[in-house]
A and B are shown apart, each in its own frame.
Chain A
Amino acid sequence: MVVFPPTTPAELIALIIRIITSHTFITIVIFPGFIHLTLVVIFLTWYERKLLARIQLRIGPLYAGGPGGLLQPLADGVKLIFKEVMVPYKASKPLFMGIPLMLVVLSAVPFAVIPFGQHWVIANIDVGLVFVFAMTSLFPSMILIFAWASNSKYPFLGGVRSLFQQVVYEIPMWMSTLSVVLLAGSLNLVDIVNAQEKMWFIVPAFFSFAVFFIAIMAELERLPFDLPEAEPELVAGWYTESSGAIFMLIFMGLYMKLYLMSSLVTVLFLGGWWGPAFLPQPVWFIIKTLIVATFIIIPRGVYPRIRVDMLIKIGWTRLLIIALGNIFLTIILINSGLLASWGI
């Protein structure tokens, strides 16, 4: 029996147990909330290093314990926490310290609307897709402010490049999701996944999948689009001056954004949690998301970096046209009734 407000210790304990075992608490704190996100981010840093090492015929992390040096990110984290945070001369200290925290928050908050299973979603809101859009559209301004706050030339150049690139690629990226919204008839991410029970949207909307995938590579500043952190020219781009815990926060934010974008691809095009019933729904979701993340990471070991003019040209003249044309193609497909057997 749970009484509120509690008067005896037994009632207090009963209340605490009730809160901890409630669905809301579990979804926010354990899965798909904080603990799950932190573990996945830690795993992704190790996974990227190991994968790139195998591509380049190296071994990668090895000695830090666990199979294949799996504990290496923990060692890195401890090292970075205890390192001194260097604030550049005449830098804006509140912005320099605050923006990395905001990057982590901004990439963690959209997970509130990402459905990991039929019931594994924190907030099932009607404007889920627009919510993710709103949160990720804050990244360019955050990065520009951080680059300015560093009071140094390389970060500023990197920040301006990052802004340029993200603003260009945001437009085809969200325009390509429009055809998915048309197919599902909803902006709610749970409804979008439910509409893919019979057929994943990658089949009827293949062109938007291609555009979206290329655009998120640019949004995540992954090779071949990693101009904002071009090592030979800009040292490390917009986070050149970051060190210690600041550096760790920025990397947590970036890897969480990688996971966010991969899970968005899973939700929009790869059928979300749907899969054969021998595994639970969230497991299917995480497997698909990690496969997408693998395909985002692999080009870093394979392709060279493209030039700025090529980047802008691809964004404005190719991706935008394909994304626009694809909307009309989707409308024709829906109205022709060809997709009726898939419940669209």
Chain B
Amino acid sequence: MVSLVIPSDISFVVLTAVTIIGAIIALQAKELIYGAVALAISFIGVAGFFTLLDAPYLAMLQISIYVGAVVVLILFTIMLVRREQGEETNPRTDTPEGSMGIWLAGLLAIAISGVVALAGTSLPTETPASNLTVSDLGPALTLQYPVPLIVLALLLSASLLGALVLAKVER
């Protein structure tokens, strides 16, 4: 019997590689524009994770909001404040402060693998298949969680007003 590789495992490995490599390039790229492009690729990898988790609606919104809007904002900001050609615009990470992140990441990896090793076989190996569709999302938001929705709306309006106050120029 040939051992079969589950397709979702392959896509999980590929998506993990895309997301992590994209994130590393986003931090390490000398020119900030390349960093923004790599960040977009990393976001697309995250959207792939959402599709693997049976949440296609969330994946599409991830692409349209993060890749479509947030990356555009970042690009625009970079282009507005661009310096001379050839100058490194991304701060260097091989400083003592920069290496701190690597140590923290290593500690986190050890902690997570320790927890997994301690839990052993009691961890569930399969996620239950969800039957949640897009049309369940509306009732869930308006009937089950109306208060968080209203709080979120207030938060967004507050940030909009804050942006207006910040952008207002005294004449």
Asked whether A and B interact, the reply is yes
**Contact surface of A with B, Cβ cutoff 8 Å:** 90, 92, 95, 125-127, 130-131, 133-135, 137-138, 140-141, 144-145, 148, 156, 163, 167, 185-187
Determine how close the nearest CB of chain A comes to the CB of B151; give it in whole angstroms: 23
**Contacts A138-B68, A141-B67, A148-B75 given; 13 further ones with Cβ under 8 A?**
A92-B31, A92-B33, A95-B34, A126-B134, A127-B134, A130-B60, A134-B64, A138-B67, A141-B71, A145-B37, A148-B33, A156-B79, A186-B135
Name A's interface SS. Answer: helix
Known contacts A145-B37, A145-B75: A134-B68 contact under CB 8 Å: yes
Set of chain A residues within 8 Å of B135, measured between Cβ atoms:
185-186
Contact call B69/A137, Cβ cutoff below 8 A? yes
B contact residues around A187 at 8 Å (CB):
134
Smallest CB–CB gap between A141 and chain B, Å?
Answer: 5
| Interface range, B side | 20 to 34
A135 to B61, alpha carbons, bound, how many Å?
A: 10
A55 to B134, CA, bound (A): 46
**CB-CB contacts of B60-102 with A at 8 A, as 1s and 0s?**
1101100111011001100100000100000000000000000
Do the beta carbons of B72 and A163 come within 8 Å of each other?
A: yes
B56 x A167 contact (CB < 8 A): no
A95 x B37 contact (CB < 8 A): yes
Provided the pairs A163-B72, A163-B76 are in contact, do residues A138 and B60 lie with their beta carbons within 8 angstroms?
Answer: no
A144 touching B60, Cβ below 8 Å? no
Interface set, chain B 97-117, CB cutoff 8 A to A: none
Q: Are B133 and A126 in contact (CB under 8 A)?
A: yes
B34, B37, B60, B85: the one contacting A131 at CB < 8 Å is B60
Contacts of A156 in B (CB 8 A): 79
B67 touches A125 (CB 8 A): no
Closest Cβ of chain A: how far from B71's Cβ, in Å?
5
* Cβ–Cβ contact B75 & A133, under 8 A: no
Q: B68 and A130: CB pair below 8 A?
A: no
- Complex Cα spacing A145 to B79, Å: 10
Binding site for A on B (CB under 8 A): 31, 33-34, 37, 40, 56-57, 60-61, 63-64, 67-69, 71-72, 75-76, 79, 85, 133-135
Q: Flag if B64 contacts A126 (CB, 8 Å).
A: no
State the Cβ distance, B123 to closest chain A Cβ, in Å. 31
Residues of B within 8 A of A92 (CB): 31, 33
6 residue pairs A–B, Cβ–Cβ below 8 Å: A127-B56, A130-B60, A141-B40, A144-B72, A144-B76, A148-B79
In the bound complex, how far is the Cα of B79 from the Cα of A185, in angstroms? 42
Given contacts A126-B134, A145-B75, contact A137 B85 (CB under 8 A): no
Asked if B57 contacts A130 (CB within 8 A), the reply is yes
Docked-complex contact B64 and A137, CB < 8 angstroms: yes
* Cα–Cα, bound, A138→B47 (Å): 14
Q: A residues within 8 A CB of B72?
A: 140-141, 144, 163, 167
State in angstroms the CA–CA spacing of A140 and B134 once bound together: 27
**What's the least CB distance linking B121 to chain A, in Å?**
35
